[in-house]
Amino acid sequence: MPAASPLSRVNDFVVRFANVNGSGSASANELFARSILRHGVPVSPRNIFPSNIQGLPTWYEVRVTEEGHLGARGGVDMMVAMNPQTWDKDVASIEAGGYLFYDSTKPLPASKFREDITVVGVPLTAITNSTYNDPRQRQLFKNIIYLGALSALFDMDPKLVETLIGEQYKGKEKLLSSNIHALHLGRDWALQNLKCPIGLRIKKADKVGDRIFIEGNSAAALGAVYGGATVCAWYPITPSSSLADAFTAHCKRLRHDPETKQAKYAIVQGEDELASIGIVIGAGWNGARAFTATSGPGISLMQEFIGLSYFAEIPAVIMDVQRAGPSTGMPTRTQQCDIISAAYASHGDTKHILLFPEDPAEAFEMAAQCFDLADRLQTTVFLMLDLDIGMNHRLCRPLKWDESKQYDRGKVMTAEMLEAGTNFGRYLDVDGDGIPFRTYPGTHPTKGSFFTRGTSRDEYARYTEEGSAYQANMQRLLRKFDTAKDLVPRPLQANAVKATKYGVIYFGSTAPAMDEAIGVLEARGHQLDRLRVRAFPFHSSVSSFIAGHDFVFVVEQNRDAQLRSLVVNELNIDPVRLVPILHYDGTPITARFIAKAIGDHLDQLKVTPLRKVVS
Amino acid sequence: MTYIAKPKFHHPGLPKNELGFTHRDYEGKVSTLCAGCGHDSITASIIEACFELSIEPHRVAKISGIGCSSKTPDYFLGNSHGFNSVHGRMPSVLTGANLANRDLIYLGVSGDGDSASIGFGQFAHAIRRGVNMAYIVENNGVYGLTKGQFSATADRGSKSKRGVTNTDNAIDLVAIALQLGASFVARSFSGDKTQLVPLIEAAITHKGASFIDVISPCVAFNNHTGSTKSFDYVREHNDAVNRLDVITGRAPITVDYAPGTVQVVEQHDGTRLALRKLDADYDVHDRLAAMAFLQKHAAKGQVVTGLLYVDPEADDLHTHLNTVEQPLNTLEAKDLCPGSAALEKFNASLR
Ligand SMILES: Cc1ncc(C[n+]2csc(CCOP(=O)(O)OP(=O)(O)O)c2C)c(N)n1
Ligand code: SF4
Ligand SMILES: [Mg+2]
């Protein structure tokens, strides 16, 4: 192997921890990421884990990025190789000039290493075993010991790490002091025996500001609390379970009557996804704000009910934390692959509302907004999260709530209105927006009741198989969908510095990688206007953006260019004008990938005239 | 603001209940089922029970799945909201509705295909959760609406109208409901109004999951010789364990019973169930005995009817979840939204 000079980088590198699932490394690794934040340096961590609880490999990757690039970068500058099982692959994945950190208690043959990397050995097991007797303690503190050693190697301020440990074990003095002790065991060993710091270093900066560090699932769950959800029904599935768990935790903290201690919410773990969505629809029908959290396989099961919600016009919110499909696919890997199955869920002609948050802050806002939209539009609204946003801590702007905000409960006819003689037709479009009035069950003794059904009916909810009544109703549903275009979050456009004929459309968790890629592409001489789509149905500005460019890249994380299909289909766009950029190996999309794919395409264009001559 | 229900104007001679309503106020649309369908008799019994209990019609939510049986909520309580949902999923829809507003009365209507085949899971889980509801299965042993295929409650050895013999074992929903912990379990027959009406009344007033399996012959596809759900077969094999009278606190009715054979059960809301026992050693409080009794009689080819089990002290899903008394669907932003100060605190904990 050719020798490479060791990487030398400040506040801009990727550390990857290779661990064994269930070894208690997760909290130490998270502590590492948080400590760097306390230095005022942004990080973007990601869990890469298998669909098993114990014994299989897991990785935790921390991208240290003073520039604030929160997408995955790709490549590893320092591997903390704690898993013998994955050693070879882990060592191979280190960038030339990178570093390998390992437990040097047992000597390893030279063939296990590479010449073009710097190897840092710390006898972790030896240190741990000479200090602790209890096997569990040994396992847990070994993680803190390597954290201590890393703090010395990266030149981190130990005080900041100690403060964090102090916050974590507040009130648990014994745990606190033993963790601090373990930290210094590792740190001191490194300082005494190794050349510290190495080429990768953390330097205090002021680039974090007031941003918070939160998982998208927790933020979305809190959005549901703020948005007034009172009923949640769900069935466990990765990567959405932690959303329901977070909703439970938030409700326990925020939604109990201070005097009676009673709950202002009801959470049911359904027997399956059919029951979960059934409960949501029953609650929505009866005037409560309700949601379920699920992933692709759950969406597949819910199809029939979603059609009922569409046709009988019942509010429902589904938070879909997408994972790689089809079938069970790669259940712990990320993708944006449920776009089509959510947009057109169920048999017959249906269309549904989708919102695409880019990060936890937007997940919070949009989750709350879903409930207003579902009530206003009386239909299912999907919050399209994915594993990358949902299950990773992401640095994002603080969550904000406008105190003056009232819930929009939509068109609900009250007993007073009925008593005053207002004409009530459950499926009557009174003002042209396609949205009829509804009544909650039990509103009035003699007026306003109706029979809800998934079969065809007239404007007064009377069963009918009359073709014209059916068609009129289907047309009204289209009108309603049109109304939705101006109610859902608008796309956000960012233009290139110089005027350009090329644009790019992207959405959801692709955002940070895309934003970073723009810089890389600019450096390569390519200018691109950007449009981040935030909802379906598409706002008219999506059409005009496409019309304003020679062609537009559509960047997404699935094989079949699902969003692009939706754009082609719904906006009647010539497919030739939309160039798909697709990333779907289950890892989060990177700026490197996007910049290369788009850059290569644009480079080719520059030589097009030559080719034309040839042909 | 509350509105007192104003009864429709009817012939002054029609009997009125305590609220001044007549039978007519509990009726719905005209049934489109086959003339003579058992389901229509059950509809009539539901109307009668609601009238007797002096329920305000609009305070009932009627929820069903899909099937001839599931159509019937359109034919009673025309002033109630009804929800003809999807096949086999009434229990989840009802559960959600119940969570949203604990103050309404929930009447779940289903068929044997709806509850024992496609919706067997939902049936089981709504019951084991103790959703406060009256769950009625109109059991004809066939899929009426799709023209007479066997359902999962069809007895082994019974013959379809086309002459096909059923070789699969039958599911007895009553036995399952007992096993699942339903706190009120009964069986009746659509043709036995005197038994059925009080059972429905009792199921409605019972707090917790009440289940009634009502055998309801399908005149189109399951009322022939060889069927075990036909009028004749059920009449011949019916073994009633008790006859019930429901005595509400508001309107005491005197029951005509012989001493020594009556068991009075007081329910949560003060209603009393007077059981005229036909089978002297039948104890409605013994779940295990009820299960054994049922099996023993089933082995003899007998269809046990009556109130088979009741736990008058039962509670419901809302109790388990410790939800507020106020219906969740009436809570507003001020009750539900923690506000920006709480959010600031939360933000601070994430830095
Ligand atoms: C998902 C689905 N599968 C099949 C059907 C067709 N289907 C309608 S009703 C029914 C059976 C109803 O049987 P049961 O519940 O016993 O009602 P009955 O008509 O006998 O009263 C079936 C299979 C359907 N509506 N939905
Ligand atoms: S087909 Fe059978 S169940 Fe359906 S309405 Fe006719 S008699 Fe009743
Ligand atoms: Mg049937």
Q: CA A83, A238, A563 angle in degrees (round to 5)?
A: 110
Within 10 angstroms of residue A487's Cβ, the number of other Cβ atoms is 17
SS3 state of residue A319: strand
- Taking the C-alpha atoms of residue A355 and residue A370, their distance in angstroms, rounded to an integer, is 8
Average pLDDT for chain B:
92
Residue that is written with structure tokens 């009125």 in the block: B16
Please give the interface size between A and B, counted as residue pairs whose CB atoms are below 8 Å apart: 239
SS3 content of chain A, % helix, strand, coil (to 5): 40, 20, 40
Q: Which residue is closest to A440 within chain B, CA to CA?
A: B81
Q: Quick one: chain B helix, strand, coil %, rounded to 5? A: 35, 20, 45
Question: Side-chain half-sphere of A580: how many Cα atoms within 13 Å?
Answer: 17
Q: What one-character DSSP code corresponds to residue B330?
A: G
How far from each other are the two terminal CA atoms of chain B, in whole angstroms?
47
Query: Is the pLDDT confidence value at B1 over 50?
Result: no
* pLDDT of the residue at B255: 46
Nearest-CA residue for ligand 2 atom 1 is B144
Quote the pLDDT of residue A261: 97
Q: Which among B220, B194, B195 is positioned nearest to B37, based on CA atoms? A: B220
Contact A286 B97 (CB under 8 A): yes
CA pair distance A61, A603, nearest whole angstrom: 32
The per-residue pLDDT for A548 is 97
Q: What is the mean pLDDT of residues B201-213?
A: 97
Q: Determine the atom of ligand 2 nearest the C-alpha atom of B36.
A: 7
* pLDDT at residue A382 in the model: 99
Mutate: best of B62, B81, B114, partner A, most A CBs <10 A: B81
Question: Which amino acid, B349?
Answer: S
Task: Give pLDDT, residue B13.
Answer: 81
B299 CA distance to ligand 2 middle (Å): 28
What's the CA gap between A485 and A483, in Å, rounded? 5
Residue with tokens 């009377």: A462
Q: A60 pairs with which residues across the strands? A: A17, A47
What pLDDT was estimated at residue B7? 58
CA distance B135 to B137: 7
- Flag if A449 and B122 touch (Cβ within 8 Å): no
Q: Supply the pLDDT for residue A23.
A: 80
Atom 4, ligand 2: residue with shortest CA distance: B144
CA A543 to chain centre: 26
CA neighbours closer than 13 Å in the CB half-sphere of residue A59: 24
Which of B221, B222, B231 has most ligand 2 atoms within 8 Å of its beta carbon, as the pocket-test mutant?
B221
State in Å: Cα B143 to ligand 3 middle: 4
Whole-number pLDDT of residue B8: 63
Enumerate residue ranges in chain A where pLDDT < 50.
1, 608-611, 613-615
Contact assessment for residue B199 and residue B205, using Cβ atoms and an 8 Å cutoff: no
Best CA proximity match to A323, nearest among A238, A215, A264: A238
Ligand 3 midpoint to CA B40 (Å): 13
pLDDT digits over A202-234, tens only?
Answer: 999 999 999 999 999 999 999 999 999 999 999
CA atoms within 13 A on the CB side of A329: 26
Residue B10 has pLDDT above 70, yes or no: no
Asked if A264 reaches chain B (Cβ–Cβ under 8 Å), the answer is: yes
Please tell me whether residue A233 adopts helix, strand or coil conformation. strand
Distance (Å) from CA A393 to ligand 1 centroid: 47
Cβ within 8 Å, pair A275-B91: yes
Q: Is A33 on the interface with B (CB under 8 A)?
A: no
Q: Residue B73 above 50 pLDDT?
A: yes
- Cβ–Cβ < 8 Å for A527, A498: yes
**CB A441 to CB B101 under 8 A?**
yes
- For residues A556 and A506, what is the distance between their CA atoms, to the nearest angstrom? 6
Interatomic CA distance for residues A14 and A334, integer angstroms? 20
Query: Which residues approach ligand 2 with their CB closer than 6 A?
Result: B 33-34, 37, 39, 68, 140, 144-145, 218-221
Specify the amino acid at residue A559.
Answer: R
**Residue A21, amino acid:** N
Residue B138 alpha carbon, nearest atom of ligand 1: 21
Please judge whether A228 and B333 are an interchain contact, meaning their C-beta atoms are less than 8 angstroms apart: yes
User: Interface pTM (ipTM) of the complex?
Assistant: 0.95
Q: What pLDDT was estimated at residue A606?
A: 78
d(CA A283, CA A304): 17
Q: Residue A470 class from Cβ within 10 Å (0-12 exposed, 13-18 middle, 19+ buried)?
A: middle
Q: Are B308 and B189 in contact (CB under 8 A)?
A: no
CB contact under 8 A, B79 and A280: no
Q: Is A282 on the interface with B (CB under 8 A)?
A: yes
Q: Environment class of residue A551 by beta-carbon count within 10 Å: exposed (0-12), middle (13-18) or buried (19+)?
A: middle
User: Going along A270-337, which residue ranges are E strands?
Assistant: 290-294, 316-322
CA distances in angstroms from A392 to A123, A291, B91, B345, listed in the order given: 31, 22, 36, 21
Q: Which of B144, B157, B171 is nearest to B227 (CA)?
A: B157
User: What does the pLDDT read at residue A11?
Assistant: 98
Cross-chain CB nearest to B3 (options A264, A268, A444): A444
Q: For an interface test with A, which of B325, B343, B349 has the most A Cβ atoms less than 10 Å from its Cβ?
A: B343
Asked whether residue B327 carries a pLDDT value surpassing 60, the answer given is yes
Closest CA to A365 of A489, A533, A536: A489
Percent pLDDT > 90 in chain B is: 82
Confidence band of B3 (pLDDT split at 50, 70, 90)? low
Q: Which residues of A touch B324 (CB under 8 A)?
A: 257, 260, 262-264
- Considering only CB atoms, A228 lies closest to which of B89, B336, B339, namely B336
Q: What are phi and psi of B11, to 5 degrees?
A: -50, 130
Structure tokens at A123: 């006898």
